[in-house]
Structure 1
């Protein structure tokens, strides 16, 4: 009973946090460290309660660390934001090692489509109403990057049903 409740709580918190991160990235172009650290902390609390063993958690942490190392290199080259690097690592922590490669592939594909859509959006003139709203203007500016948190959130939501968290529910 506790493991089912923990798995449900984890799914709701993780999915909701990833959606929040994607929306926040679109509107502010930032993913807060507090959110990423909170997700890591909640994982450490709920994973054992949901029935994850220490070995599974350590393996998931190791793969997440490897993802962080790779994405940190991308960040160092200026290709992605620091929040994106941290969020992708914590997403892999939650999804598990078996979904790490599909996650990176889906995030890359969604990121490519997002980038193409954003390039098209930036080619169009921005109506005055949207300019006054703030974030649509920032998103329209060619001097800002791509809110890749959206692609990371979509990839997470797509793969979450295949994760070990569902096993704690069914």
Structure 2
């Protein structure tokens, strides 16, 4: 049961965050709280040592501080900052965290270019009646939660919790 929860909760929360950000330009706080709470429950139950849990908390704190600085200078939204930080909690100070952050950065750049291209052609898109969310055509911000979620999906199989969960299954 713990293994199933470990395999499902993170991807499900990331999916909801991406869809919400795409459609409403907000990432609900409950997503970050669910990820935080389930990590707090699952990590000790899966046998993650306290020192490792501390390293995971340290990774989340470092990512949160960096994201908070970007939020303070209005480069990143608050929901994006919280989602990145709580996602870092699931990866810990591990090579999977670096992979996650690289994926998010690269995908965020691609997403930004695509959204800017769509916005430059918004009149033509509207004229042909292509139904796209307002976040892609009219908003001034980028729904970065989409890049965070996809980066999370790509890096998640290498995260320490998934490795522990799969070792317990097999």
TM-score relative to the length of structure 1:
0.89
Q: Which whole-Å deviations, capped at 9, do the CAs of 1:86-134 have from their partners, x for residues lacking one?
A: 100111101221122222111010000000000111111232645xx6x
Asked if 1:64 corresponds to 2:60, the answer is yes
Uncovered stretches (5+) of structure 2, i.e. residues with no partner: none
Asked if 1:23 corresponds to 2:19, the answer is yes
SS of equivalent to 1:169: helix
Uncovered stretches (5+) of structure 1, i.e. residues with no partner: none
| Among candidates 25, 28, 40, match of residue 32 of structure 1 | 28
How far 1:51 sits from its partner (Å)? Answer: 1.8
- C-alpha distance in 1, partners of 2:29/2:52? 25
Give the structure 1 partner of residue 45 of structure 2: 49
SS of equivalent to 1:79: coil
Asked if 1:103 corresponds to 2:100, the answer is yes
Give 4+ residue runs of structure 1 displaced > 4 Å after superposition: none
SS of equivalent to 1:97: coil
| Among candidates 162, 165, 168, match of residue 165 of structure 2 | 168
| Among candidates 119, 122, 137, match of residue 119 of structure 2 | 122
- C-alpha distance in 2, partners of 1:155/1:77? 24
- C-alpha distance in 1, partners of 2:68/2:140? 19
The aligned length equals 162
TM-score relative to the length of structure 2:
0.89
- C-alpha distance in 2, partners of 1:116/1:138? 14
- C-alpha distance in 2, partners of 1:148/1:7? 29
